[in-house]
Structure 1
Amino acid sequence: MRLTPILLSLVTVSLAAPANYFDDAYDFSDELSDYYSKVSQYINRVKKSTSPSASCDTSKISLPSFASGLPAPNGTKPMYVALGRGTQNYTCADSTSASTPFAIGAVANLYNATCLAANYPDLLESLPNIAYKISLPTTEYATFPPANLELIGHHFFTSTIPEFNLDTTEAKQFGVALTKKESSLNAPSTAVKGEYGAVAWLYLSTIEGTVGNYKGVYRVNTASGSPPDTCEKMPSSFEIQYSAVYYFYGS
């Protein structure tokens, strides 16, 4: 039996993981246990299988079924899939219950989960539930545990425009998706809420200035990220840790 490179990456804890990874991740044992249980099941299947090794065939990628509440891809095809890990950012006019938090964007690292989406979508679906509690690596291009995913880009807001920059190095130029929100869907009741709740699932269309053939971006499988209901006892600006999976569709 020979494990595929994808499975090897799933069972190997990254040496570049942050120092607090083991404390934080293993305290969060239910989700991590479920993840490694699924990995073990796939390894056992590979032991008994004579089929070819898993590949990164993007034609096998599909959105999770709950995303049917968002607009359909409409003839576009999946190009990349990324695990996003970062913060949702908010401001408060004051620190009283009379004010509500106002969303001012997000900042996240994007890690390449394309092969995972093509071959092990159930594992990918469970990753945000673990990832939102894991600190980002201190070295920018380090892989992200527990699946050892490589950095593919960054998500941030330019003014009020959600941007996904997938140009990470001179050798890895995958384009830039500038987007606008078209539709949202409350996260399912099963989503990991964190302290205040999971942020909504989204469909964003691309706008002028996009580099590459991107047509739309889906944010799904969200974990945490929502603010409290009011600004009571909150600072004027604050961040909420979150994770999500982003599907990039194009022509």
Structure 2
Amino acid sequence: MRFKRGGCPLSNALTPCTWPQNLTKSTTAPEYVMVGYGTQNYTCSSSGAYSPAGAVAKLYDVSCMASTPKLETVPQLVYDFIETNPTGRTPLAGLDLSRPSIHHYFVNNGAGGINPRFDLEPNGALVAFSVMKKVQDVPDPENSKGNVDWLLLQNVNGTLAKSIYRVSTYFGQPPKSTCTSGPADVTIPYAALYYFYTT
């Protein structure tokens, strides 16, 4: 299950300077630090407002940047790079964006809802996974109208992580206009940092 591309230690991993007071902070070192790029998905509810309908993202290992101040800027850099270079095959600041380490998507939970799932697949084969549930949800401290919320997720199945944080988000919020129920889902690109904890 263990995976450390480059073997970089995370005992001194930094967390965002703007950490919200109402988001519980871990007291242990993360197992992985990843940057994710993908889409937040929304449907139009009967009230004419957009409602979350899961997400799909690829996560790339940035553990070797985790102890540097530039870590917080990585989501925006990756977002801007991929938006202008959709194939994502060219390395960016030492990142190989053709080789995601984790695939993130949502699965049915059997109770009429959906839960986030993370699959560790560094070489294309499943090594470990975790299905999570959201336990904390706070607005982005810098741009809550444009950036999706910061989250704390806890494990409900699998061995990849006991908890996962989504922080330093960049874009992903749905349109502010009203919508008409029925059309296809709306997908909004976003990027974020993900911290994975096993203790």
Range of TM-score over shorter length: 0.7 to 0.9
Q: Does 1:157 align with 2:109?
A: no
Larger radius of gyration: 1
SS of the aligned residue for 1:132 comes to helix
1:77–1:250 CA contact under 8 A, matched in 2 = no
Q: Could you tell me how far apart the structure 2 residues matched to 1:55 and 1:211 are?
A: 20
1:202 to 143, 151, 157: 151
- Residue identity over aligned pairs, in percent, reads 34
2:184 is the counterpart of 1:184: no
Indicate the residue corresponding to 2:3 in structure 1: none
Query: 1:132 is matched with which residue: 61, 65, 79?
Result: 79
Higher helix share: 1
- Secondary structure of residue in 2 paired with 1:69: coil
Answer whether contact 1:89 1:239 (CA < 8 A) is retained: yes
For structure 2, the 5+ residue unaligned runs are 1-5, 109-113
Q: Distance in 2 between matches of 1:220 and 1:93?
A: 27
Q: Residue 169 of structure 1 aligns to a residue in which SS?
A: coil
Is the aligned partner of 1:111 residue 2:64? no
Residue matched to 2:11 = 59
Aligned to 1:72: 25
Residues 44 and 179 in structure 2, CA contact (< 8 A), matched pair in contact too = no
The 1:206–1:143 alpha-carbon spacing in structure 2 relative to 1, beyond 3 Å, is: farther
Deviating beyond 6 angstroms after TM superposition, the runs of 4 or more aligned structure 1 residues are: none
2:176 corresponds in structure 1 to: 229
Match of 1:169 in 2: 123
Say if 1:85 and 1:144 are closer, same or farther in 2 by CA, change over 3 A.
farther
**Cα distance change on mapping 1:144 and 1:182 into 2, 3 Å:** farther
For the residues of structure 2 that align with 1:87 and 1:170, how far apart are their CA atoms?
21
Q: 1:226: Cα distance to partner?
A: 0.4
Q: Distance in 2 between matches of 1:58 and 1:146?
A: 19
Distance 2:103 2:126 in 1: 13
What is the one-letter code of the residue matched to 1:162? P
Tell me whether 1:99 sits opposite 2:48 in the alignment: yes
* SS in structure 1 of the partner of residue 101 of structure 2: strand
- Mapped to 2, the partners of 1:112 and 1:105 lie a distance apart of 22
C-alpha change, 1:158 and 1:143, in structure 2 (3 Å) is farther
Alignment check: 8 A CA contact 2:106 2:115 kept:
yes
User: Structure 1 residue 215 and structure 2 residue 168: aligned?
Assistant: no
When residues 171 and 228 of structure 1 are mapped into structure 2, their CA distance, relative to the original with a 3 A threshold, is closer
Confirm or deny: 8 A CA contact 1:93 1:236 kept in the other structure. no
CA contact (8 A) 1:87 1:106 kept: yes
Instruction: Give, in angstroms, the shift of residue 169 of structure 1.
Output: 2.2
Question: Counterpart of 1:38?
Answer: none
C-alpha deviation, 1:83, in angstroms:
0.4
Q: 1:128 to 1:198 in 2, by over 3 A?
A: same
Tell whether 2:165 aligns with 1:249: no
**Distance in 2 of aligned mates of 1:171 and 1:202:** 27
1:1-55 per-position Cα deviation (integer Å, ceiling 9, x unaligned): xxxxxxxxxxxxxxxxxxxxxxxxxxxxxxxxxxxxxxxxxxxxxxxxxxxxx97
